Amino acid sequence: MLRTPAWARTWSVFRLIMAAIIVAAILAQLSASVRRAIENGNDVATVIANFFSFFTILSNAASAVVLVWAALWYFTRGARAKSEPRGLAIALASITTYMIVTGLVYNTLLRTIELPQGSQPIPWSNETLHVVAPVFLLLDLFLAPLRRRLNWTAVLAIAVFPIVWAVYTLVRGPLVTSPITGSPYWYPYPFMDPNNFANGYLGVSVYVVAIAIAIIAVGLLVVWIGRRRGSHL
């Protein structure tokens, strides 16, 4: 069934629907954050920049873009192809890895953490970005048609964005004043904030290394599953 044209069309529609839901969730949370910033007299530009500094937001936004790309590719060219193009395959493997890790990290490390007053997320949006979307990308790995077998070196491409994000976060953090608490620094997650650890950046590095290992491990798993399901051109 997973290799039939009917299923390919159906799953492509599901991809478009999921992309729309993700975009709606991001926009709803962004709108709420901006509205609170205006009400509280916070710097709106900083609030928006901080919003798009969350790995969750970036990975979900990338997921929406790639899901639309995959669906449009299928409806324009995919019906005549044996497998998706390599660039799309790497993009799908990347967002799948990021979203699975996002779901794991949030639900194991962040779900029970109390947020500063005024920064609470919208419940449905929060669950969509941290649970629904990651589950969909996991299902996409097993159910999407026309998968291409990738070389193991694709994991190196998958690892690029998280590394860039981690460097960006640690460099930007001490340069930004938190619009919510007024602290002379801002980090998107507690485990990225050296001020939360007695040993500073050493404490952060433990989490960074652990998450890096998780990303590589999940990336390898995603590529492995894709190699078992897909075709090699």
Boundaries of every domain in the chain: 5-229
pLDDT of residue 29: 95
User: Span 11-33, mean pLDDT?
Assistant: 97
Q: Confirm if 141 and 226 have CB atoms less than 8 A apart.
A: yes
pLDDT of residue 79: 80
User: Span 195-201, mean pLDDT?
Assistant: 95
Residue 119 has pLDDT above 90, yes or no: no
Between 55-76 and 133-143, two packed helices, what is the crossing angle to 10 degrees?
Answer: 40
* Alpha helices by DSSP H, 41-130: 44-51, 55-76, 86-105, 123-127
User: Span 188-201, mean pLDDT?
Assistant: 94
pLDDT of residue 113: 74
Query: What is the CB neighbour count within 10 angstroms for residue 156?
Result: 11
Radius of gyration of the chain (CA): 19
pLDDT of residue 2: 67
User: Span 5-26, mean pLDDT?
Assistant: 96
* Residue-wise pLDDT tens digits, 168-178: 999 999 999 99
pLDDT of residue 233: 47
pLDDT of residue 152: 95
User: Span 123-145, mean pLDDT?
Assistant: 95
Residue 1 has pLDDT above 50, yes or no: yes
Q: What is the DSSP string of the chain?
A: -TTSHHHHHHHHHHHHHHHHHHHHHHHHHHHHHHHHHHHHT--HHHHHHHHTTSHHHHHHHHHHHHHHHHHHHHHHTGGG-SS--HHHHHHHHHHHHHHHHHHHHIIIIITTPPPPTT-PPPHHHHHIIIIIHHHHHHHHHHH-SS-BPPPTTHHHHHHHHHHHHHHHHHHHGGGS--TTT--S---SSGGG-GGGSTTTHHHHHHHHHHHHHHHHHHHHHHHHHHHHHSB--
Q: In the numeric block, which tokens belong to residue 144? A: 């999407």
Residue 210 has pLDDT above 80, yes or no: yes
pLDDT of residue 121: 85
Instruction: Specify burial of residue 84 (Cβ count, 10 A radius: 0-12, 13-18, 19+).
Output: buried
**Could you tell me what percent of the chain has a pLDDT over 70?**
95
User: Span 96-111, mean pLDDT?
Assistant: 92
Q: Nearest-CA neighbor of 146 among 220, 233, 78?
A: 78
What count of Cα atoms within 13 Å lies in the side-chain half-sphere of residue 19? 18
Q: Which of 49-58, 154-163, 180-189 has the lowest mean pLDDT?
A: 180-189
User: Span 133-151, mean pLDDT?
Assistant: 94
